[in-house]
Amino acid sequence: MSNESIQSHFTDWTKREAAAEDMIPLIGRLYRENNVVTSIYGRAIINQSVIGLLKSHRFVRQIENKELSAIDTLEVLKVMSNLNLGHARIDIGKLAVAFKESGKANIEDFLREQLSDVVGKGSDPVEHTESKDVVLYGFGRIGRLLARILIEKAGGGTNLRLRAIVVRKGSASNDLEKRASLLRRDSVHGPFEGTISVDNENNRIIANGNCIQVIYSAGPDKVDYTEYGINDALIIDNTGIWRDEDGLGLHLKSKGASKVLLTAPGKGDIKNIVYGINSDAIESTDTILSAASCTTNAGSPVMTILDEGIGIELIESHKLFRIGEGSPFQYFNPWRNDCSALA
């Protein structure tokens, strides 16, 4: 390889690196000021590092058989930032590829046409825009992961806003500090992306500027959320203690609560919803919904695609054949053997 070729590779890298650096403030500004969530072929790029952005561009070659350049998507972002866009989710990677394939010369005209539904419909200032209050009932592992997601996606404050968590009073004198520490560190998901502080005087955890009221309560029907300025709130019950309509309905007896979402499979007539699969079953009159089980959320998208593509025949199995004597797995847990036989 000649020195000229070596230098050209390095020059190309530095140009793409510089483009990614220029993308970061544009991505952040669109998110905070216009509530525009950007992605590259389905990969969210908000709060990404320069290397993270370049990796997202390189991922495109697995779909389009060619790598997408950050120089191309930067041009898309520059134009988008001047279109006063309204709330939207926009895949700038697909837009960049579509523009190249269109053969058109003017990228602004192309984007105005593609984004006509949101062009000129920029969000009002945050203080004049309504957001949806969210309360986490329970702050175990699932609750803390939900808190991370809600804080990460707070944007300019016009989305779902985590306003409070409801827990039982711990025996430790430094209860708030302990809960903040658990939110700050996770052995699987790593450290919290941002800053967390504790306001002991007002009983709050402050995470990336989000003031989260910590409410101590002995039951779901014993809280007055309006005392904390929380109204028409979505209560996300992640305790798993109440799973039927009677139990979850207790939340709605608390002043300031309007809807309940369960993070476990619901019982009885409660709708178990997997977003994108049967979310069209949600009605405006529904006040209690379940997000179904982790297994259902993992399996149903795949099963839906298979069913629509080639069809699935449902059969009923009445007997499982356990792994027999002499098998190297015979001493494994019998329940695990049953699962292996079924698979």
Active site residues: 294
Return the biggest CA–CA distance within the chain.
75
- Residues 90/27, Cβ–Cβ less than 8 Å: no
* 242 three-class SS: coil
Whether the Cβ atoms of residue 263 and residue 146 lie closer than 8 Å to each other: yes
The kind and range of the H/E element at 213 are strand 210-216
Q: What is the dihedral sign for C-alpha 325, 331, 334, 337?
A: negative
* DSSP sequence for 13-55: HHHHHHHHHHHHHHHHHHHHHH-EEEEETTEE-TT--HHHHHH
Going by DSSP bridges, is the β-strand pair 43-44/271-272 parallel, antiparallel, or unpaired?
Answer: unpaired
DSSP 251-315: GGGSBTEEEEEESS---TT-EE--TTTTGGG--TT--EEE---HHHHHHHHHHHHHHHHT-----
Closest by CA to 160, choosing from 198, 212, 199, 118, is 212
Residue 157 burial (CB count, 10 A): 16
